[in-house]
Amino acid sequence: MSEETINMEGAVCAPPLTHNEQIVMGHGAGGRMSHRLIQQAFLPAFQNPALNAGDDAALVEPGLKQKLSISTDAHVVSPLFFPGGDIGKLAVCGTVNDVAMLGAKPLYLTAGFILEEGLSMDTLKQVIESMKQAADEAGVQIVAGDTKVVQKGKADGLYITTAGIGLIRDGVSVSGANAKVGDVVILSGTIGDHGIAVLGARGELGFQSSIQSDVAPLNHMIEAMLDASPNIHVLRDPTRGGLATTLNEIAAQSNIGVVLNEDSIPVHPEVNAACEMLGFDALYVANEGKLICFVPREDADKVLAAMKSTKYGEGAVIIGEVAEEPKGRVLLKTALGSTRVVDMLAGEMLPRIC
Amino acid sequence: MKYVTEYRDAALVKGVIEEIRRTVTRPWTLMEICGGQTHAIVRHGIDQLLPPQIELVHGPGCPVCVTPLELIDKALSIAARPDVIFCSYGDMLRVPGSNRDLFSVKAQGGDVRVVYSPLDAVNLAQQNPDKQVVFFAIGFETTAPPNVMSVLQAQRLGLKNFSILVSHVRVPPAMSAILSSPHNRVQGFLLAGHVNAVMGYWEYPPLVEKFKIPMVVTGFEPLDIVQGILKTVQLLEEGKVEVANAYQRAVTLEGLKPAQAAINKVFMECDRKWRGIGMIPMSGWCLRPEFDEFNAEKRFDVEAIQAEESPLCIAGEILQGLKKPHHCSAFGKQCTPENPLGATMVSSEGACAAYYRYGRMLTTEHTENAEI
């Protein structure tokens, strides 16, 4: 695919809309438009080896005994509270997980709060309490913070940005660029739960749903996995853009192909039903408490057993494997025995008309 | 999931495909009329499993794809007004008008909202009496019942701030146009089961009579689709020209009478431009004059907006089944779902988007320079 700016000579059936002129919602959806934004706006200005690596956290070596993993994540969600979680839990878990995905033990977080004038103090306290609980569970401390208040109408209640730092375990090398032929792909449980739970909480489903967000800190599961095998190549949490987008990122970073078995990808029946009714594909729906692991086949059973022994990995399964070809792409073997490409999310995930 | 998983049963689907293999003796070209079927076919890879004699071509049954450019421009003009809440089905937001799309209007401050049902838009009108709420009423016969119900509901509630921008299209006139083309190569039709669930299939025997080709009412799950294909191939091989129903769990000959009555009360047949195809006589539905007060084109004085389409995009030929998406030199290169040149790439039901999303671009990279 061409990444260049379109310059069609003469008239075309409709002018191409690159959305290069202004930010639209699709730039924040975690798919290809988000990637293009990073490549066109951020990377040229800030580029350095840690950033260019393109992982969810940066690996830095400031001359200490251990390498550090650093990450930051901004959290906006409407509504602030949803089944299974809230913006506070999300803000802690999101950064804990990103830091941990380099094979690190997350230690400290910072939190920046943008509060909208008029926000109820009770709401804020609930969010803070939820952050405390999530931080306790993850075993991290929130050691610094900042607060700003903006005028009524300038924010959606409350936005939280967190940053985190952790120590990367000695003897491991985990990155989206490390997937290799011979690896299997392990997924820690059902996909799409978070995205559908939030839609339900917005009242957009038009029907009752008992789906809970999967938002959770995954660092303890990662420790158990690395205890079982130091040979894990890739860890990543498939958040915005879903499983499909994250696997495409890894396939591109590692320059390998990924082949999935449709039958083996776990989807909660209610999530499946919601996706069918609304015209979504669960492969693209967000998760906040799942991870993908690429590990050599010979270590897969050990890692799988370690995952299953933890609270958030009970549903772990092997969903596919790495292939030599097609490089940079994800293929899906359908239940019917045919094969198709699974692409990255383009812009915003749009429901289908009928 | 009941009524879904059993129709995706791999063993059952393979059994029917075997039956198709046993039945077919020579090449046949079938068209699935509905974009939802195109998506299911490509998503499940059904076309890869069929015997090589059977070619599926994709019909113009994507309501997003065929919505004419000038109606999109009208929508953009209305949506940009500060007094308007503009409601649309999700996929329409990405369809480019002459120089922008609804995403752009939204980014510039327009109040554009995705709704799942037009009745959500009626609720918004009730909740926002100081705003004009406009629903972009696009679609085939399938979405017509909820769309007309929104008007009837708004009328019942006495709402003065609700209107719809109508771009409704109908399947039978489009099929007639395809079959009348001197370039037509379609020998059998899979009818759009969801359309037939509403309308029945009493409209089709005259078409079968006139054009002498078989048509089979077909559903949307893999098993439904292969059963529709099997029935069509059986009719073709036996030389039978008739309408058959392979989607009996959802479709009857007469369809949903109350829905048809509601449609007829609010809509009347009218000429309609199809994006990429052109004008097809009496192929659309428009609001009857007695519902003028709910007609957004009249309320916002956008009737004069006109737009010309470019001759370069081949979306029209794809919509008519004359070309496949990978025949387009822009496909997967300049034209991608997040950067669409044509409407067939935009909608998740559009043929190009289906090909793109489910990986037909792999073969395209080798054929991109092929003359179209």
* pLDDT tens-digit readout, A44-85: 999 999 999 999 999 999 998 999 999 999 999 999 999 999
The residue among A192 and A279 whose pLDDT is bigger is A192
Mutation site for A-interface testing, chosen from B9, B18, B103, B225 by largest number of A Cβ within 10 Å: B103
| pLDDT higher than threshold 70 for residue B337 | no
What is the separation of C-alpha B270 from the centre of its chain, rounded to a whole number of angstroms?
Answer: 18
Instruction: Report the pLDDT value the prediction gives residue B58, as an integer from 0 to 100.
Output: 80
Confidence of residue A213 (pLDDT cuts 50, 70, 90): very high
Percent of chain B with pLDDT over 70: 82
**Intervals of CATH 3.90.650.10 along chain A:** 183-342
Residue B207 phi, psi dihedral angles, 5° rounding: -70, -40
Which burial class, exposed, middle or buried, applies to B187 when counting CB atoms under 10 A from its CB (0-12, 13-18, 19+)?
middle
Q: What is the mean pLDDT of residues B340-367?
A: 54
Which residue, among B280, B141, B3, has the nearest Cα to A353 in the 3D structure? Answer: B141
CB contact under 8 A, B91 and A23: no
Give the C-alpha separation, B216 to B205, whole Å.
Answer: 11
Average pLDDT, chain A: 91
Q: What is the 3-state secondary structure (H, E, C) of B246-276?
A: CCCCCCCCCCCHHHHHHHHHHEEEEEEEECC
> What does the pLDDT average to over A266-280?
91
> Closest by alpha carbon to A81, among A37, A47, A127?
A127
In the prediction, which pLDDT does B358 show? 60
Q: Which whole-number Å values give the CA distances from A18 to A15, A36, A284, B68, B349, in the listed order?
A: 9, 10, 22, 21, 21
Q: What percent of chain B has pLDDT over 90?
A: 63
Q: Taking residues B170-193, what's their average pLDDT?
A: 91
Indicate whether B371 pLDDT > 60. Answer: no
- Asked if the model's pLDDT at residue A344 lies above 90, the reply is no
DSSP-derived letter for residue A209 is -
Residue B12: band (very low, low, confident or very high) from pLDDT cuts 50, 70, 90:
very high
Residue with the bigger pLDDT between A200 and A313: it is A313
**Does residue A316 register a pLDDT over 80?**
yes
What single DSSP character describes residue B178? H
Q: pLDDT band for A257, please (50, 70, 90 cuts).
A: very high
The residue-averaged pLDDT of A91-109 equals 98
Partners of residue A141 on adjacent β-strands: A108
Whose structure tokens read 């290799």? Answer: A180
pLDDT tens, residue by residue, B199-235: 999 999 999 999 999 999 999 999 999 999 999 999 9
Nearest to B229 by CA among B250, B248, B215: B215
Residue A87 CB partners (closer than 8 Å, separation 6+): A75, A76, A77, A80, A81, A127, A158, A160
Where are the CATH 3.30.1330.10 domain residues in chain A?
Answer: 56-168
Distance CA B306, CA B55 (A): 38
| DSSP secondary structure code for residue A235 in this structure | E
3-state secondary structure of B196: helix
Query: Could you read off the pLDDT of A152-179 as tens digits, one per residue?
Result: 999 999 999 999 999 999 999 999 999 9
Q: Identify whether the C-beta of residue A319 lies closer than 8 Å to the C-beta of residue A294.
A: no
Residue type (1 letter), B263:
I
Cis peptide before A326 (omega within 30 of 0): yes
Query: What is the 3-state composition of chain B as percent helix, strand, coil, each rounded to the nearest 5?
Result: 45, 20, 35
Compute the nearest-CA separation of B164 from chain A (Å).
Answer: 16
| Contact yes or no for B93 and A33 at CB 8 A | no
Q: Where are the beta strands (DSSP E) in chain A?
A: 58-60, 68-75, 81-82, 85-86, 104-116, 141-150, 158-168, 183-187, 234-236, 257-261, 292-296, 317-323, 330-333, 339-342
Nearest one of B372, B34, B365, B41 to B174, comparing CA atoms: B34
DSSP annotation of B336: B
- Name the CATH superfamily housing domain A183-342: PurM-like C-terminal domain (3.90.650.10)
Q: Which of A3, A6, A17, A272 to mutate to test the interface with B (most CBs of B within 10 A)?
A: A17
Angle ∠(B79,B303,B116) on CA atoms, nearest 5 = 40
CATH class given for the domain over B1-309? alpha beta
Taking residues B275-279, what's their average pLDDT?
78
* SS3 sequence of A279-312: CCCHHHCCCCCCCEEEEEHHHHHHHHHHHHCCCC
Interface membership of B89 toward A (CB under 8 Å): yes
- Å from A254 to nearest chain B CA? 19
Q: What is the CA radius of gyration of chain B?
A: 21
What CA–CA distance (Å, rounded) separates B171 from B321?
A: 15
Helix and strand tally (H, E) in chain B? 18, 11
Least confident of A212-221, B79-88, B299-308: B299-308
Which of residues 30 through 59 in chain B touch A, CB cutoff 8 A?
A: 36, 42-46, 48-49
H/E element holding B36?
helix B35-44
Percent of chain A with pLDDT over 90: 79
Mean local confidence (pLDDT), A329-343 = 90
User: Measured between alpha carbons, how far is A98 from A245 in angstroms, rounded to an integer?
Assistant: 16
B298-319 confidence digits (pLDDT tens): 999 898 888 876 555 566 666 6
CATH 3.40.50.11740 spans which residues of chain B? 1-309
Model pLDDT for residues B147-173, shown as the tens digit of each residue:
999 999 999 999 999 999 999 999 999
Query: Which residue of A329, A341, A350 is in closest CB contact with B93?
Result: A350
Pair A60, A67: CB distance under 8 Å: yes
Beta-carbon separation of B313 and A13 below 8 A: yes
How far is Cα B308 from Cα B306, in angstroms, rounded to an integer? 7
B25-73 pLDDT tens trace: 999 999 998 888 988 898 898 988 999 999 998 887 778 878 888 999 9
Q: Which residues of B touch A269 (CB under 8 A)?
A: 1
**Nearest in space to A91 (alpha carbons), one of A245, A247, A239, A246:** A239
Instruction: Tell me the sheet residues that pair with A112.
Output: A146, A161
CA dist A119 and A141 (Å) reads 25
Of A10, A31, A206, the CB nearest to B116: A206
Distance from C-alpha of B247 to C-alpha of A318, rounded to nearest angstrom: 37
Residue B36 is predicted with a pLDDT of 87
What pLDDT score was predicted for residue A227? 98
pLDDT given for residue B308 in this prediction: 74
pLDDT tops 80 at residue A298: yes
| C-alpha to C-alpha distance for A319 and A321, rounded to whole angstroms | 7
Q: What is the CATH number of domain A56-168?
A: 3.30.1330.10
Sorting pLDDT into bands at 50, 70 and 90, what band is A14? very low
DSSP secondary structure string, A37-89? HIIIIIHHHH--HHHHT--SSEEE--SSSS-EEEEEEEE--SSSEETTEEHHH
Report the amino acid identity of residue B112.
V
pLDDT of residue A135: 98
| Stated pTM of the model | 0.87
